[in-house]
Amino acid sequence: MNEDTLNMEIRRFLKNVGITSQREIERAVIAAVEDGRLAGNERIDVSVRLDIPSLGVERMIDGTIGLE
């Protein structure tokens, strides 16, 4: 195993996760504010599930995003 390759591949995957997640969260929050489901000053709970079936990894990562 090449640890440098592993590191770069993980970083590439996480970059994709980060960019995709940010876009989805922004779209969902903007839509919710526009249609009145959110006032725009809340804190919203978020979670991400990491699954790596071939390694037996199942992990929930929880957090909160403040809108103001």
User: What are the pLDDT digits (tens) for 39-53?
Assistant: 999 999 999 999 999
pLDDT at 42: 96
**pLDDT on residue 5:** 98
Q: Which domain holds residue 40?
A: 3-66
* Phi, psi of 16, rounded to the nearest 5 degrees: -60, -45
How many domains, the chain?
Answer: 1
| pLDDT confidence of residue 49 | 97
Task: Extract long-range pairs of 26-32: CB within 8 Å, 24+ residues apart.
Answer: 29/65, 29/67
Mean pLDDT on 6-20:
98
